């Protein structure tokens, strides 16, 4: 009986912005998955591909690092994986060190460090076509001889651009031409690192001829986008256009999704008998999930812009521009990337704070990152804005709804900066800021395949939440809204006798001053599992209540039952709304403290209540009640 050959584990290692993710996508395509490493909140990307010789390879994309002298949590994971010391993970058999061919100085030092580990290794010079176009002359044979390891060129964004790398992987795995390695590694101190850099510089001089002039396009663009005044104007304009597009681009697919769920609900009414089964399928499942999934196009539109700007190379410039503004609020420049990531979801934003060396600086960033408007708020915002803000243009072509959405995002940013300023003055004195050092990558043409894979992964994550967390919450909400059944002599709607109504009415004394009715009160509770569940919960509650037939939009139902003051108060609440349970769990793991987790929840709850109270009472006083 023949043995089944297990896939060979290969790890990608490289500096940030070396094109490592693009190479990972080129090799594995859609055959990849994202999870966390055991015991830590560091993202783990793994994919599978087959080499030309028919060998199956499990490829691990490790977090970017400049050295194995690890300091941050993600760098520690990379170091321990390379050394084969990461708990719960098998050691890689082969290391592929990925380097940007146009920026080899630090990459060669990392390659020398990796060589000392003693594992088979290949140096892949990525973006080789760009380097050649800009005038770089790289002698691959000389570079291989100087380093003592195989060196190949790669162009991750072109068909056939990984052929040489795949051939070399086959040779190393099959132990033909296995590179000799020194095999003695110990954590280097600063003086060893300096020696390694001097050696890397000598190798660079021997094997690489630099162009006489650096990239002119990048320098010309940076003179504009990095201008201290004009650059900020451009950044704000880009963010503004993003939120305009969230409404303008997504409307047609949203209408199609809504029509599909309306038709599905009508079909259920035809094929299922009247009773609890029909109520569960139509009012619980279809109305609940449909009211959330309709916002998928808007979420994908937002992620499209974020991924596009990252691929182009603009995100690092945005961090550079924001450094001075954030410094005035007591945040380090490195906090920009975690805060920007929190626009998508607070969880990766909080995880990204590992790049901040100062413990206090990292803690402040964790405490304010959830104030940034994550994608889970989009369903709540767009539902209320579409229902209560007229769909008209102002100043000729600006969408009024987009302006309101931009204002809500701006409120989140302002509150994060404001609370950082408060924390740094009331809780502790700010640590002296270390210099903000950031490598600005050259501008690159975005790759459609990378954008598509990124959007596919974000869509899958959202749909997974809809199929698990949101669906489970909808079952609970439907049950609470349906039992106990109304008495035979009932004079009110059946839902008024339900457990959900009793829970909401019990919360009324606390939430009535902010203008919330019992239906909103009920929706806030499952919203703690995931914010977008609040929209699904409202859809289920009002569907069971019979407030309109299935063809009615939820927004029309809200305008009939809520005042403008209530709608504005709920928007204000969600600017500061306490985080979902998953985010609180990540805060607990990242801070290793229940104290700071409870502090985060408490201060955001207090801010949400205060903002909603002031908004509702002011709006009611102005006649919007």
Residue at token pair 């579409």: 386
Mark 194-207 as b/e (b = at least 16 C-beta within 10 Å).
eebbeebeebbeeb
Query: Between these two residues, 495 and 183, which has the higher pLDDT value?
Result: 495
- The length of the chain is 625
Query: Between these two residues, 302 and 117, which has the higher pLDDT value?
Result: 117
Longest Cα–Cα distance of the chain, Å, equals 94
CB of 24 closer than 8 Å to CB of 59: yes
Question: Is the pLDDT score of 4 beyond 60?
Answer: no
CB of 162 closer than 8 Å to CB of 23: yes
pLDDT value at residue 5:
54
Question: Is the pLDDT score of 179 beyond 50?
Answer: no
pLDDT value at residue 181:
46
Rg (CA), the chain: 27
What is d(CA 286, CA 279) in angstroms, rounded to the nearest whole number? 10
Q: Which of 184, 152, 148 is nearest to 165 (CA)?
A: 152
Q: What are the C-alpha distances in Å from 386 to residues 97, 142, 390, 556, 561?
A: 49, 63, 7, 9, 15
Question: Is the pLDDT score of 321 beyond 90?
Answer: no
pLDDT value at residue 123:
95
56-61 and 8-14 beta bridge pairing: parallel
Percent of the chain at pLDDT exceeding 70: 87
H helix or E strand, kind and range, residue 59: strand 56-61
Banded pLDDT at 180 (limits 50, 70, 90): very low
Torsion of CA 184, 186, 192, 193, to 10 degrees: 100
Q: Which two tokens stand for residue 168?
A: 């070399």
- Mean residue pLDDT of the chain comes to 81
Question: Is the pLDDT score of 36 beyond 60?
Answer: no
Report the interhelical angle of 533-545 vs 554-561 (nearest 10°).
70
Residue at token pair 């339900």: 498
What is d(CA 30, CA 260) in angstroms, rounded to the nearest whole number? 28
Question: Is the pLDDT score of 309 beyond 90?
Answer: no
Q: Which two tokens stand for residue 61?
A: 């994309």
Digit-coded pLDDT (tens) for 104-154: 888 999 999 999 888 899 999 998 888 888 888 899 999 999 999 999 998
Sign of the Cα pseudo-torsion (584, 585, 589, 592, in order): positive
Q: Which of 111, 127, 112 is nearest to 18 (CA)?
A: 127
Q: Which of 16, 45, 247 is nearest to 126 (CA)?
A: 16
What is d(CA 466, CA 530) in angstroms, rounded to the nearest whole number? 10
pLDDT value at residue 283:
78
pLDDT value at residue 165:
92
Q: Which of 173, 152, 171 is nearest to 163 (CA)?
A: 152
Q: Which two tokens stand for residue 376?
A: 């889970």
Residue spans of alpha helices (H) in 228-284: 230-248, 251-271, 276-278
pLDDT value at residue 511:
92
Q: ∠ CA(295), CA(296), CA(298), 5° rounding?
A: 70
CB of 590 closer than 8 Å to CB of 351: yes
Question: Is the pLDDT score of 611 beyond 60?
Answer: yes
Query: Between these two residues, 235 and 157, which has the higher pLDDT value?
Result: 235
Query: Between these two residues, 243 and 131, which has the higher pLDDT value?
Result: 131
Assign 321 to helix, strand or coil.
helix
Query: Between these two residues, 599 and 459, which has the higher pLDDT value?
Result: 599
What is d(CA 89, CA 92) in angstroms, rounded to the nearest whole number? 9
What is d(CA 86, CA 190) in angstroms, rounded to the nearest whole number? 24
Mean pLDDT computed over 556-561: 85
Q: Which of 420, 417, 418 is nearest to 428 (CA)?
A: 420
Banded pLDDT at 1 (limits 50, 70, 90): very low
Banded pLDDT at 513 (limits 50, 70, 90): very high
- As assigned by CATH, the class of the 8-209 domain is alpha beta
Top-confidence range, 161-165, 330-334, 554-558? 161-165
Mean pLDDT computed over 611-625: 89
Phi first, then psi: what are they for 598, rounded to 5°? -70, -35
Digit-coded pLDDT (tens) for 378-429: 888 888 888 888 878 877 777 788 888 888 988 998 999 999 999 888 876 6
Q: Which of 571, 576, 543, 577 is nearest to 291 (CA)?
A: 543
Question: Is the pLDDT score of 612 beyond 90?
Answer: yes
Range(s) of the chain covered by CATH 3.40.50.300: 8-209
Query: Between these two residues, 580 and 274, which has the higher pLDDT value?
Result: 274
Mean pLDDT computed over 4-18: 80
Banded pLDDT at 609 (limits 50, 70, 90): very high
Banded pLDDT at 39 (limits 50, 70, 90): very low
What is d(CA 598, CA 588) in angstroms, rounded to the nearest whole number? 9
pLDDT value at residue 531:
75
Mean pLDDT computed over 284-289: 78
- Strand partners for 57: 8, 49
32-36 and 137-138 beta bridge pairing: unpaired
What is d(CA 322, CA 59) in angstroms, rounded to the nearest whole number? 35
């Amino acid at each position: 009986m023949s043995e089944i050959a297990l896939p060979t584990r290969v790890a990608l290692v490289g500096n940030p912005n070396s094109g490592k993710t693009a190479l990972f996508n080129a090799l594995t395509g859609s055959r990849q998955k994202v999870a966390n490493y055991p015991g830590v909140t560091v993202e783990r990307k793994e994919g599978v591909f087959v080499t030309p010789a028919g060998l199956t390879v499990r490829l691990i994309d490790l977090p970017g690092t400049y050295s194995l002298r690890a300091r941050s949590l993600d760098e520690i994971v990379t170091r321990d994986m390379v050394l084969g010391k990461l708990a719960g993970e098998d050691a890689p058999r082969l290391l592929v060190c990925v380097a940007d061919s146009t920026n080899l100085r630090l990459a060669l030092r990392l390659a020398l460090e990796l060589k000392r580990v003693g594992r088979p290794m290949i140096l892949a010079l990525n973006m080789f076509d760009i380097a050649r176009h800009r005038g770089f002359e790289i002698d691959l044979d000389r570079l291989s001889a100087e380093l003592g390891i195989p060196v190949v060129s790669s162009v991750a964004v072109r068909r056939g651009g990984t052929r040489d790398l795949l051939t070399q992987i086959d040779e190393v795995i099959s132990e033909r031409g296995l590179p000799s390695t020194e095999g003695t590694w110990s954590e280097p101190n600063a003086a060893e690192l300096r020696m390694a850099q001097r050696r890397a510089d000598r190798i660079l001089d021997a094997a690489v001829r630099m162009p006489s002039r650096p990239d002119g396009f990048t320098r010309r663009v940076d003179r504009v986008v990095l201008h201290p005044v004009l650059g900020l104007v451009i950044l704000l304009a880009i963010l503004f256009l993003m939120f305009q597009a969230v409404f303008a681009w997504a409307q047609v697919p949203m209408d199609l999704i809504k029509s599909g769920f309306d038709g599905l609900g009508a079909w259920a009414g035809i094929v299922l008998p009247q009773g609890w089964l029909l109520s569960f399928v139509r009012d619980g499942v279809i109305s609940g999930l449909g009211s959330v999934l309709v916002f998928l196009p808007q979420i994908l539109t937002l992620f499209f812009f974020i991924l596009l700007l990252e691929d182009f190379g603009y995100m690092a410039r945005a961090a550079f521009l924001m450094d001075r503004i954030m410094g005035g609020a007591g945040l380090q420049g490195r906090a920009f990337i975690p805060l920007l990531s929190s626009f998508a979801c607070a969880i990766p934003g909080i995880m990204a704070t590992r790049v901040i060396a100062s413990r206090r600086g990292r803690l402040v960033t964790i405490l304010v990152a959830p104030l940034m408007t994550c994608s889970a708020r989009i369903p709540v915002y767009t539902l209320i804005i579409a229902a209560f803000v007229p769909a008209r243009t102002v100043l000729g072509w600006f969408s009024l709804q987009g302006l309101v959405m931009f204002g809500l995002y701006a409120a989140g940013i302002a509150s994060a900066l404001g609370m950082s300023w408060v924390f740094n003055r009331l809780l502790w004195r700010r640590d002296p800021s270390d210099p903000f050092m950031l490598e600005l990558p050259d501008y690159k043409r975005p790759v459609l395949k990378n954008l598509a894979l990124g959007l596919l992964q974000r869509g899958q994550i959202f749909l997974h939440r809809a199929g698990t967390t949101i669906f489970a919450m909808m079952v609970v909400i439907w049950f609470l809204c349906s039992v106990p059944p109304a008495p035979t002599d009932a004079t009110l709607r059946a839902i008024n006798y339900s457990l959900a109504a009793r829970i909401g009415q019990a919360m009324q004394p606390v939430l009535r001053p902010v203008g919330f009715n019992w239906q909103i009160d009920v929706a806030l509770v499952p919203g703690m599992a995931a914010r977008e569940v609040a929209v699904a919960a409202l859809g289920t509650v009002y569907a069971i209540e019979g407030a309109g037939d299935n063809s009615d939009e939820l927004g029309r139902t809200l305008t009939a039952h809520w005042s403008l003051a209530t709608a504005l108060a709920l928007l204000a609440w969600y600017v500061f709304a306490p985080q979902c349970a998953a985010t609180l769990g990540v805060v607990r793991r990242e801070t290793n403290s229940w104290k700071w987790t409870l502090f985060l929840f408490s201060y955001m709850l207090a801010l949400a209540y205060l903002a909603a109270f002031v908004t509702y009472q002011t709006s009611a006083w102005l006649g919007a009640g």
